[in-house]
Amino acid sequence: MIENTRIYEIFRRVLHQFHNGEKLGTFGVCSQGWLRNTEQLFYRDYPSFSVAALSSHTRPDLRASRQNAYQRMFGMDLNHGTDDGQPYPYVRPEAANQEFVSTFEEFLREVWVGMMHLNATVANPTDTMKLATLANRLSDMFRSRRQVGNVSREELFAVSMMSWFHLALETASPPLEVLRDLKADMDGPEQRLFAIGQKVGLPAHGLSKSYLDIAEPMSRILSEIESRIYNDVNNVNALYDKNIISQRPFPPSPEADMRVIITHWSIIAGRDIKARKVATT
C-alpha cells in the first residue's frame, strides 16, 4: 500500500539531486545524516551474507524483486510502472495468490454486514461461518507461499523500507529536519509527500492519503488472519463488534481497523465494499 504512493521513486530522486547539485537547496547536518542513512539502507547492494542482500547476478533489480513478491503474495502489481509510464519489467511468478483480491473483498463485505446489523432489531444476517471460512482461505494463501521460509527475506526488506519512509512522513511534532529543509513540513503525511514529489518532478499518487491510512490497519489484520486467529467462529465477531474483547492486547481494536480498511479500500479499488452484491440472471 505504501509503495503505491510512489514514495520509493520520489526519495530516489531526492537522493539523486542531493548528491548531484543544490537544486533542492542546502541540507543541515541532521538532514544529511538521514539522507545518507537512507541511501545506505535502501539504495545500495548489501554485503554478502547479510539478510538484506537480495540483489545478485540472477536478480539485479531490487524493485523487480519486490514486484515479484507482491505478485506472489497478493496477485497484485503496483499501480505505476517506470517514470515514463511504461510497465515495470519483472519476472512474473507461475504460482501466485490470484484470488487474494476477490477473497479479501468478500471478507470485507461480510464484516460490513456485521457492523451494519449489530444493533438492528431484525435478525442479524452476519454469517460467522462464512467469515471464518474466508479468513481460513486467506490464511492458506499466505502460508502456501511461505513454505520453508519463501519470500520471508523479501518481505523483511520491503516492510522495513516502507516503514522507514512512512515514519519519516508521519513524524508530526517536530517534523524531521529533512522535511523542513525540503520545505515539506506541512500538515498530513500525504501533503508532505505531494510537496516533495512536486519538488523533484515526480508526483505522488493522488490517492496517497488512502494508501498511507490503510497501510498499518491492513498490516495488523492480515497478520492476524495469517496467524489463524479468525479461523475460529468465536473470534470473528471482534471484527465488527467493538464491544468484544479481542485477542489483540493493544489498541486500536480489530473493529476500528476494519472500518478504516473498508473505507479506504473502497476508495483505492473504486468498488463500494459497503454495497451489497446484486444477483443477476
- CA-wise closest residue to 74 among 164, 3, 130: 3
Judge whether residue 154 has pLDDT over 80.
yes
Dist CA 23 CA 155 (whole Å): 34
Judge whether residue 55 has pLDDT over 90.
no
112: left (phi over 0), alpha (psi -120 to 50) or beta: alpha
Judge whether residue 51 has pLDDT over 90.
no
Helices 128-145, 208-226: inter-axial angle, 10-degree rounding: 90
Decide which of 5 and 120 is more confident: 5
Judge whether residue 15 has pLDDT over 70.
yes
Are the CB atoms for 138 and 227 separated by under 8 Å? no
Percentage of the residues of the chain whose pLDDT score is greater than 90: 76
- State residue 53's pLDDT score: 82
Decide which of 118 and 165 is more confident: 165
Judge whether residue 273 has pLDDT over 60.
yes
**CA distances (Å), 129 to each of 8, 123, 221, 238, in order?**
40, 16, 18, 14
- State residue 50's pLDDT score: 83
- 175 — pLDDT class (breaks 50, 70, 90): confident
**What residues contact 230, with CB distance under 8 A and at least 6 apart?**
131, 132, 135, 224, 236, 239
Helices 152-170, 7-20: inter-axial angle, 10-degree rounding: 70
- CA-wise closest residue to 111 among 7, 3, 235, 23: 235
Domain extent listing, the chain:
1-281
pTM for this predicted structure = 0.91
Judge whether residue 41 has pLDDT over 60.
yes
